[in-house]
Structure 1
Amino acid sequence: MEPITVSIEGTKQATGLGVTKIYELINQGKLETVKIGRRTLVKTASIRALVEAA
């Protein structure tokens, strides 16, 4: 089963982008996140959509 969310570090590894750029994309609404406690998790579907739109 594929994960539906990944950590910021996982997003960094999957996309090859830096942490600053990832947070930029989150703030622009291009990456969807979920907050669980103190953790920020990025939805894998939004990562796919970002890559496919590029």
Structure 2
Amino acid sequence: MQQEDEQQEIQPLLLTIPQAARSLGISRAKLYVLLAQQQGPPVIRFGRAVRISIDSLQKWIKEQENASL
């Protein structure tokens, strides 16, 4: 039982592109376009795997909010 509770508390630190797109409420394709134009959040690469940290995603969102003010 304790092991199950510990596993449920673990939150991912890195998101895949589809996960990040869902959390932003945009399509995966739109996020790929933003990344290709270097207008999206910073990514971390592990070989061919591309991930976005939750912290950098939140920071990027704040920057977008401030830029639109």
TM-score between the two structures when normalised by the length of structure 2:
0.59
Higher strand content, 1 or 2: 1
- Aligned-pair identity in percent equals 19
| Change in 2 beyond 3 A, CA 1:49/1:25 | farther
| Uncovered stretches (5+) of structure 2, i.e. residues with no partner | 1-9
Over alpha carbons, which structure has the higher Rg?
2
Partner of 2:45: 35
TM-score between the two structures when normalised by the length of structure 1:
0.69
Higher helix content, 1 or 2: 2
| Uncovered stretches (5+) of structure 1, i.e. residues with no partner | none
Greater length-normalized contact order (CA 8 Å, ≥ 6 residues apart) = 1
CA RMSD of aligned residues (A): 1.9
Q: Is the 8 A contact 1:12 1:19 kept in 2?
A: yes
